[in-house]
């Protein structure tokens, strides 16, 4: 007998079905037991009475979160949720849960388990349908990103995470014991997606993990996270990258809203908005002027603090009714050596960050592809040329002008759901003090 | 003016177009120069004569593999490849290549550069159209895998690669300096895709890197490679996993053949075959009997050597005309503790390997989801229970019966193209002595 998914049972009234899932709740009324069963598609009420001796006996030993297989008759029942229930014919316990659950899965208690405890038992926390929803949306989001990329001729790469030198700054990089030498974990696929440009791939994307040895405890940071990276050739400036990102995000948010907009609204009270194009833009210099007028304290002259990012986003939400804002022309001091500098004002780079409701979700730029200039910029920044010679070589034998972006899907999800911490959207959060489970 | 991709130029005879790409070849006939330009879509002949002074002057300074932007008139020309050429109006050098290329990109010399040299300058080697084809096919292959998974209700996960303990055997794992403690790089997402089953996700897939500190120099091994992993709940045995894999592979190979079959045949003389289902199956015991009859030397009694894998594949190619064969029922000695054991013959596991033309591309199994039995099996294998307690906990609070597979896309590509070494299909191969570029 084939298994039926719970959300398709409504069409099967009068029929015998087999369902599989977890025990969501149990309501015991002596001679009759109501058992709510949950699978990925939803929940359904099942019912068993004393008349069915064997099944009733089995049902007696059930406890919350055990896994069962039930064969039964689908019936209309006005009192049941959704007006439908399954009269149990046979019930089989596939996996018995321990009596005591370390964190509640289904009971809506006022005092939810602490974050630490929920992270310790992440797989139980993820059983909650509103948590599963995050991963359904993530799956849809990535599907949409890929659909966009593939439709526009991008090639996918899987670049190595083990490198002989640090991929970016050299700071905050994890060291790996690699046979009789050292290796480092890639902080991003930056160098290798640029290599694809030098290889003539023209447009590439990569989805993969990135690692940062940042001793940071903020709710926006993780030591390991997912990167959506893209790089494109034959651009005129970072504005071409910005245009591409706008199209990509609109496409993805449209797809998410179509499929999950209602569920997101119901579970998280968040009305997902598909943004208008073009997104607002502001140069770093202009941003600082706006923030000064708003009397937001400035920590650094050349960069935005988290507080400034939030305030700037709020400002553009208010005056442009837009949840996104591109901050462009970051000063060279706060950007890596490989960002191209603006021809007309060489103290700023052809780069940008994208803020989404107060959080940075992307860094993008046109890259410097001219070998001599790139070398000079590295030297100016005090980068050891020998350590990046393998990278510099990419630009010796012809390389198209190019640029790209790195998008953080976890941070996007935080804003799609209005969830305050990255720990709640990562499948398994990794932080300074967290490597388990 | 918008850029035109080279493979669409045929439709533009009589029109002015802009193309961008690399200088593939230069043929100089004094007053006339023929320049073959290459982009991701193909190559085209461009031509410039002395009459166009400025362009001719620029063309003089061109060298192989420089990057150019050309505006010109599309003309029919019987002598040109494909009967078409572009009469250059303007030419701009976007990036000048060094005069001396460390490895030849376009010239078909008899003595191709050595593997080491080609890997050192991987981005130049990848400019060859037949190398780019590998990544176009990989992109299509992954697209097909995902299409299959998404159509069948799988949820995608991105599981962490940083773990507090070794994910499988404990041997051959890379150690990471993680703040003031140690972390390890995941050898596979095994534990975490099983966690998704315990979380009730039912069907998950993951695409990501896997790391093995194997001091191995064979052409099948790399220290970092890509894994296509899937795990499904509510199965009856490993045969359900096998059935799922058959459907997945047939779907993917069908898609690849439709889109790239002709190009693969032309560039690699490989006639791609979409396999029939069901694939042949043989138990390990039967396999050993067949190999004995064929007088193939057996290194290990319980496992297959690479030589045995090749011979066994050849045998099934011959008698069943099939490029795939599932080897099932591996003895418990050669399988990890979490493989479920066969009820009727507990000395073997409910597991399998899949061979594709002589190479193992998958390991799959039903997993042991019963806490007490799992613990016992780990103990029997001498696994330190404390080190896997986080993993064992997944099975304490209800977990559906489940199983899954890990597929190696690089190895699949080796067989799709008939390429002998994984170093040629990985975007950037990583081995004991290779972390660069």
Q: What is the SS3 assignment for A90-122?
A: EEEEEECECCCCCCCCCCCCCCCCCHHHHHHCH
Does residue B351 register a pLDDT over 80? yes
DSSP label at B25?
Answer: E
CA distance A44 to A189: 45
Both tokens of B155, joined, read 């949820």
Both tokens of B69, joined, read 């932007």
- Does the distance separating the beta carbons of A97 and B397 come in below 8 Å? yes
Please give the ipTM for the structure prediction. 0.95
pLDDT band (50, 70, 90) for residue B59 = very high
Helices A238-268 and A129-151, packing angle to 10 deg:
150
What does pLDDT average to over chain A? 95
Q: What is the pLDDT of residues A258-278, one digit of tens each?
A: 999 999 999 999 999 999 999
What does pLDDT average to over chain B? 95
Residue in chain B nearest A95 by alpha carbon: B398
Out of A243-257, A414-428, B104-118, pick the least confident.
B104-118
Strands B175-178 and B181-185: antiparallel
- Mean pLDDT score, A196-207: 98
CA distance B424 to B270: 16
CA distance A251 to A147: 9
| Range B117-141 burial, b when 16+ CB lie within 10 A, else e | ebbbbbbbbbbbbebbbbbbbbbbb
Q: How far is A262 from chain B (nearest CA, A)?
A: 19
User: For residue A132, what is the enclosing H or E element?
Assistant: helix A129-151
- Does the distance separating the beta carbons of B199 and A122 come in below 8 Å? yes
- Does the distance separating the beta carbons of A40 and B200 come in below 8 Å? yes
pLDDT band (50, 70, 90) for residue A309 = very high
Contacts of A160 in chain B (CB under 8 A): 209, 224, 427-428, 430
Out of A169-178, B24-33, B345-354, pick the least confident.
A169-178
Does residue B167 register a pLDDT over 60? no
Q: Which of A20, A160, A224 sits opposite B162 (nearest CB)?
A: A224
Q: Backbone phi, then psi, for A382, in 5-degree steps? A: 75, 20
Is it true that the peptide bond before B278 is cis, omega within 30 degrees of 0? yes
Residues composing chain B? 437
* Closest among B94, B66, B96 to A402, alpha carbons compared: B94
Contacts of B233 in chain A (CB under 8 A): 20
- Does the distance separating the beta carbons of A208 and B208 come in below 8 Å? yes
Both tokens of B342, joined, read 């066969």
Does residue B254 register a pLDDT over 80? yes
For B184, residues 6+ apart whose C-beta sits below 8 A from its C-beta are B162, B163, B164, B165, B166, B167, B173, B174, B175, B176
- Does the distance separating the beta carbons of A155 and B199 come in below 8 Å? no
Contacts of A427 in chain B (CB under 8 A): 157-160, 192
Residues composing chain A? 437
- Mean pLDDT score, A408-415: 98
User: For residue B239, what is the enclosing H or E element?
Assistant: helix B238-268
- Does the distance separating the beta carbons of B179 and A213 come in below 8 Å? yes
Q: Backbone phi, then psi, for B324, in 5-degree steps? A: -115, 150
* Structure-token match 């001679």, residue found: A31
Contacts of A154 in chain B (CB under 8 A): 139
Tell me: domain B6-95, CATH 3.20.20.210, correct? no
Cα distances (Å, whole numbers) of residue B232 to B129, B339, B401: 38, 14, 9
Both tokens of B157, joined, read 């996960």
- Does the distance separating the beta carbons of B192 and A428 come in below 8 Å? yes
Is it true that the peptide bond before B38 is cis, omega within 30 degrees of 0? no
pLDDT band (50, 70, 90) for residue A206 = very high
- Mean pLDDT score, A152-171: 87
* Closest among B126, B138, B411, B67 to A205, alpha carbons compared: B138
Out of A98-102, A162-166, A218-222, A232-236, pick the least confident.
A162-166
For B382, residues 6+ apart whose C-beta sits below 8 A from its C-beta are none
Q: Which of A21, A154, A234 sits opposite B3 (nearest CB)?
A: A234
pLDDT recorded at residue B169? 60
* Closest among B409, B359, B377, B417 to B230, alpha carbons compared: B409
Q: What is the pLDDT of residues B292-325, one digit of tens each?
A: 999 999 888 889 999 999 999 999 999 999 999 9
- Does the distance separating the beta carbons of A135 and B157 come in below 8 Å? yes
Tell me: domain B129-424, CATH 3.40.50.1100, correct? no
Contacts of B158 in chain A (CB under 8 A): 138, 209, 226, 426-427
The count of other CB atoms within 10 Å of the CB of residue B414 is 24
pLDDT recorded at residue A279? 98
User: For residue A52, what is the enclosing H or E element?
Assistant: none
Sheet holding B324-328, edge to edge: B155-156, B203-211, B224-233, B402-407, B359-366, B351-356, B324-328, B281-283
CA angle A375, A377, A382 (to 5 degrees): 95
Q: Which of A22, A160, A394 sits opposite B398 (nearest CB)?
A: A22
For B67, residues 6+ apart whose C-beta sits below 8 A from its C-beta are A398, A399, A400, B20, B21, B22, B23, B93, B94, B95, B97
* Closest among B36, B121, B154 to B84, alpha carbons compared: B36
pTM (two decimals): 0.96
- Mean pLDDT score, B210-237: 96
pLDDT recorded at residue A427? 98
**3-state secondary structure at position B424:** helix
- Does the distance separating the beta carbons of A163 and B398 come in below 8 Å? no
Concatenating the DSSP letter of every residue in B272-327 gives --PPPSSPPEEEHHHHHHHHHHTTPPPS-SSS--HHHHHHHHHHHHHHH--SEEEE
Q: How far is A240 from chain B (nearest CA, A)?
A: 13
DSSP label at B14?
Answer: T
Residue in chain B nearest A158 by alpha carbon: B427
The count of other CB atoms within 10 Å of the CB of residue A81 is 12
Does residue A167 register a pLDDT over 60? no
Residue pairs spanning A and B at CB distance below 8 A: 259
For A360, residues 6+ apart whose C-beta sits below 8 A from its C-beta are A309, A353, A354, A411
- Does the distance separating the beta carbons of B135 and A155 come in below 8 Å? yes
pLDDT recorded at residue A170? 60
- Does the distance separating the beta carbons of B179 and A176 come in below 8 Å? no
The count of other CB atoms within 10 Å of the CB of residue B393 is 20
* Percent helix, percent strand, percent coil in chain A, to nearest 5: 35, 30, 35
**3-state secondary structure at position B6:** helix
pLDDT recorded at residue A301? 84
Residue ranges of domains in chain A: 6-95, 129-424
Residue in chain A nearest B131 by alpha carbon: A199
pLDDT band (50, 70, 90) for residue A106 = confident
pLDDT band (50, 70, 90) for residue A345 = confident
Both tokens of B285, joined, read 């015991």
Contacts of B127 in chain A (CB under 8 A): 199-200
Contacts of B209 in chain A (CB under 8 A): 158, 160-161, 208-209
Long-range contacts of B96-105 (CB under 8 A, 24+ apart): B96/A398, B96/B61, B96/B63, B96/B66, B97/A396, B97/A397, B97/A398, B97/B23, B97/B63, B97/B64, B97/B65, B97/B66, B97/B67, B98/A396, B98/A397, B99/B63, B101/A397, B101/B64, B101/B65, B102/A397, B105/B64, B105/B65
CA distance B95 to B413: 33
**3-state secondary structure at position A126:** coil
Interface probe for A, chosen from B131, B237, B397 (most Cβ of A below 10 Å), is B397
């Amino acid at each position: 007998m084939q298994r039926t998914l719970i959300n398709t049972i409504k069409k099967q009234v009068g029929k015998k079905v087999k369902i599989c899932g977890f025990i969501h709740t149990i309501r015991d009324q002596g001679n009759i037991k109501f058992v709510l069963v949950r699978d990925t598609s939803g929940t359904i009420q099942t019912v068993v009475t004393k008349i069915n001796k064997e099944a009733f006996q089995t049902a007696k030993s059930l406890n919350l979160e055990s896994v069962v297989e039930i064969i039964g008759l689908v019936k209309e029942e006005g009192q049941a949720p959704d007006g439908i229930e399954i009269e149990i014919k046979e019930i089989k316990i596939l996996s018995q849960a321990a009596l005591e659950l370390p964190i509640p899965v289904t009971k809506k208690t006022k005092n939810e388990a602490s974050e630490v405890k929920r992270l310790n038992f992440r797989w139980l926390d993820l059983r909650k349908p509103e948590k599963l929803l995050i991963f359904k949306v993530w799956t849809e989001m990535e599907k949409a990103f890929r659909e966009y990329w593939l439709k526009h001729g991008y090639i996918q790469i899987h670049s190595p995470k083990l490198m002989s030198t640090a991929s970016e700054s050299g700071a905050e990089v994890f060291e790996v014991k690699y046979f009789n030498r050292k290796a480092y974990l890639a902080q991003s696929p930056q160098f290798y997606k640029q290599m694809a440009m030098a290889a003539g791939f023209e447009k590439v994307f990569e989805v993969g993990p990135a690692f940062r040895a940042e001793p940071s405890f903020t709710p926006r940071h993780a030591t390991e996270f997912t990167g959506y990276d893209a790089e494109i050739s034959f651009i005129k400036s970072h504005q071409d990258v910005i245009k591409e990102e706008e199209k990509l995000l609109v496409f993805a948010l449209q797809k998410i809203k179509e499929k999950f907009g209602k569920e997101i609204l119901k579970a998280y009270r968040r009305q997902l908005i598909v943004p208008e194009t073009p997104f607002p833009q502001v140069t770093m210099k202009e941003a600082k002027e706006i923030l000064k007028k708003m009397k937001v304290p400035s920590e650094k002259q050349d960069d935005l603090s988290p507080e400034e990012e939030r305030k700037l986003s709020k400002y553009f939400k208010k005056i442009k009714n837009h949840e996104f804002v591109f901050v462009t022309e970051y000063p060279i001091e706060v950007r890596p050596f490989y960002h191209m500098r603006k021809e007309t004002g060489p103290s700023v780079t052809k780069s940008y960050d994208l803020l989404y409701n107060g959080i940075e979700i992307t860094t993008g730029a046109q890259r410097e592809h001219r070998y001599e200039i790139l070398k000079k910029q590295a030297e100016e920044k005090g980068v050891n040329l020998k350590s990046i010679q393998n990278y510099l070589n990419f630009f010796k034998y012809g390389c198209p002008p190019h640029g790209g972006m790195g998008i953080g899907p976890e941070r996007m999800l935080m804003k799609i759901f209005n969830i305050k911490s990255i720990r709640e959207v990562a499948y398994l959060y990794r932080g300074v003090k967290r490597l388990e489970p």
